[in-house]
Amino acid sequence: MGVLVVFLLIVVVLILNIKIVPQAHEFVVELLGKYRTTWSAGIHIKIPFIERISKRVTLKEQVLDSPPQPVITKDNVTMQIDTVIYYAIYDAKLYAYGAVNPISALSNLAATTLRNIVGELELDGTLTSRDTINGKMTSILDEATDKWGIKVHRVELKNIIPPTEIQNAMEKQIKAERDRRETMLQAEGHKAAAITRAEGDKQAMILAAEGERDARIARAEGEAKAIYLSKKAEADGLAALKEAGVDAAVLELKKYEALVAMSDGKAAKIIVPTDAVDMTKSNVVFAETTGLGDKTDPDKTKKKVEQKEDPCCE
């Protein structure tokens, strides 16, 4: 019976000293208060009563969100800045024995580093140099925490809160800048509209001038064609008369007809050469002898003669 009890106690003790380390974790084991080994992920058996697990460490990346803290810039402006630190433990032994409270030490180190970096910058530089500040803090903190078994991957400035009066001044500055841009855009719009209108007027004038030019050209071509056809008709008429064998008298009559058409009942003086007068006389004699060209009504002539008779002789 006593042996069975002893056996059961040994089994219970062995079961209690079987330890399983999860993935991405490490256990720091001490033997009689002295560092003995570091267990990685897997199953391990601890020696009862003389070994103990002094530190359980996770190797996953962790986030340290520091509260806002006052920081004074180079131009004596006090701002509230809070940071976010992304870190991971890469050596459980150094993390267990490097510092009493490594996370608190990291937070205080980040605060002092931030004050040193921002103290060398002015307000505008602080607001526009986030990447520079992040890079410097990451480098400094990573180097300082190597002996604590901590790897700093990244540091980010979460919020930069300037004083209220600075915020008001910045808002006014931003509003003035926006008003200036709006004015410039309106001016550019008016300029573009004026240029467009001027270009439209220019094109309209050019098109009107081209239309007037084309109209004049068309009219000139029409007049030229009309003159050409008129002269061609006269030439054809003369050629026809020539082919018909007309004599000089007919041609002279045509000349007289042309002269009469030129006068057209207007007050005009027509100078007729002597040979033309002689030809006219000859034509008149010819007309009286032959009766050609006489358009006088004989009945009317007879009546006039009868009316001139002396009534006294009847």
Mean pLDDT within 161-170:
79
Is 177 within a domain?
no
Task: Using the predicted structure, report yes or no on whether residue 152 has a pLDDT greater than 90.
Answer: yes
The answer on 120 and 103 residing in a single domain is yes
**Which residue, 132, 110, 126, is CA-closest to 159?**
126
The answer on 83 and 47 residing in a single domain is no
Q: What does the alpha-carbon distance between residue 253 and residue 269 come to, in Å, rounded to a whole number?
A: 19
Q: What does the alpha-carbon distance between residue 214 and residue 229 come to, in Å, rounded to a whole number?
A: 22
Mean pLDDT within 40-55:
87
Token pair in block for residue 76: 């004596």
Token pair in block for residue 62: 């962790």
25 or 270, which is more confident:
25
Is 168 within a domain?
no
**Residue 98's pLDDT band (cuts 50, 70, 90):** confident
Mean pLDDT within 200-211:
89
Write out pLDDT tens, residues 225-260. Answer: 888 888 888 777 777 767 766 556 666 666 666 666
Is 301 within a domain?
yes
Calculate the average pLDDT of the chain. 79
Is 140 within a domain?
yes
DSSP 75: T
Quick one: what percent of the chain has pLDDT higher than 90?
17
Token pair in block for residue 54: 């002094």
Q: What per-residue confidence (pLDDT) applies to 265? A: 54
The answer on 230 and 253 residing in a single domain is no
The answer on 210 and 126 residing in a single domain is no
Q: What does the alpha-carbon distance between residue 123 and residue 167 come to, in Å, rounded to a whole number?
A: 12
Q: What per-residue confidence (pLDDT) applies to 278? A: 56
Cα Dmax for the chain? 209
Is 181 within a domain?
no
Q: What does the alpha-carbon distance between residue 42 and residue 99 come to, in Å, rounded to a whole number?
A: 27
Token pair in block for residue 314: 């009847």
The answer on 152 and 104 residing in a single domain is yes
Mean pLDDT within 93-115:
90
What is the helix (H) or strand (E) element at residue 138, kind and residue range? helix 130-144
The answer on 288 and 270 residing in a single domain is yes
Q: What is the DSSP string of 5-65?
A: HHHHHHHHHHHHTEEEEPTTEEEEEEETTEEEEEE-SEEEEPPTTTEEEEEEEE-S-EEEE
Of 5-9, 81-85, 90-94, 300-304, minimum mean pLDDT range: 300-304
The backbone torsions φ and ψ at residue 73, rounded to the nearest 5 degrees and listed phi first, read -85, 180
Task: Using the predicted structure, report yes or no on whether residue 263 has a pLDDT greater than 80.
Answer: no
The answer on 297 and 260 residing in a single domain is yes
Is 281 within a domain?
yes
Q: How many domains does the chain have?
A: 4
**Residue 4's pLDDT band (cuts 50, 70, 90):** confident
End-of-domain residue from the set 230, 245, 260: 245
Q: What per-residue confidence (pLDDT) applies to 175? A: 85
39 or 166, which is more confident:
39
Q: What per-residue confidence (pLDDT) applies to 86? A: 94
DSSP 48: T
The answer on 260 and 240 residing in a single domain is no
87 or 291, which is more confident:
87
Quick one: what percent of the chain has pLDDT higher than 70?
76
Token pair in block for residue 114: 């931030």
The answer on 106 and 68 residing in a single domain is yes
- At residue 249's C-alpha, the angle toward residues 243 and 251, to 5°, is 50
- Domain span at residue 38 reads 2-57
How many angstroms from the chain centroid is the CA of residue 31? 74
What CATH number corresponds to the domain at position 142?
3.30.479.30
296 or 4, which is more confident:
4
End-of-domain residue from the set 200, 229, 245: 245
